[in-house]
A = this chain, B = another copy of it.
């Protein structure tokens, strides 16, 4: 048979290593290297075998001892207390199953690069949890074709229906935060979001809009700020808001980091929280409680989300299906001291 991956797909079951070798016109050892993530294969040969796997499918025979007692967690970025909460949850499940937790970081990239993928295959974990990051369709396919389970935790983008995921009720959180501020008597409520391409940001913003709409309060576009999830973003956006002719009396920040930036800019401007400006955060990381005054925030149960994702992964690795493949855990407004009624003079 001619060594080409460009034929029409075959019917029937995924190919064995021997069949893949025959189709590609290479040795079984070469195919074995590719499916196990080894790098000592010529790029053209590797591409040919990968394309055969993509088109015809390959399913590793799962044997006892075939995978290592490891659970792989890949972070978009390992920064701040967000990562600590997630790791705490994963570690909890891993300990119960005597699994090691392997972490890797994409250094701010949302999609893992090529080297990462080969390293994971070499380690042969039970499965992979991708935190706040996406995989390319090609990468998801490669995991699938090798029978390695994948779970998305706090996914950022549109979801591939076939990949299990664990998220939080972002829309409900946005609704609850805004209703809390409306209930205190605020009407000039600013909202800060993360990047516009992130569905989680969109969901929170939509919750804000619905709360405002249901209260009959028009949304002023000047009070809708799109930024990044950094403290500096919260600081810069607040400086701009405070320069408006009619500045907001309350800010619903995109996360606790942005909210800290609101605190900093308020201190610069000599404004007191909550007397002059009310602030609500999102996530309710431990730092929310440390803020002076302690921050009212929408709690995302990050640790419980991580527990759910890791449990799902263990179930999948045992060849079973989890009870649900798409889980969204509820958010909850935690009221502390950063929110109060607007001043009577307004």
Q: How many copies does the complex hold?
A: 2
Interface secondary structure of A, over-half rule: helix
Return the contact of A69 from the options B88, B100, B122, B264 (Cβ within 8 A). B122
Interface residues of A in 104-121 (CB under 8 A from B): 104-105, 115, 119
Interface residues on A, range: 35 or more
Return the contact of A104 from the options B101, B105, B267 (Cβ within 8 A). B101
Q: Is A287 in contact with chain B by the CB < 8 A criterion?
A: yes
Given contacts A102-B101, A104-B91, A115-B98, contact A80 B84 (CB under 8 A): yes
Interface residues of A in 250-269 (CB under 8 A from B): 260, 263-264, 267
Contact A100 B286 (CB under 8 A): no
Q: In the complex, which residue of chain B has the Cβ closest to the Cβ of A115?
A: B98
Interface residues of A in 71-129 (CB under 8 A from B): 72, 78-81, 83-84, 87-88, 91, 94-95, 98, 100-105, 115, 119, 122-123
Contact A100 B70 (CB under 8 A): yes
> Which residues in A have some Cβ–Cβ distance to B below 8 Å?
68-70, 72, 78-81, 83-84, 87-88, 91, 94-95, 98, 100-105, 115, 119, 122-123, 231, 260, 263-264, 267, 286-287, 290, 292-293
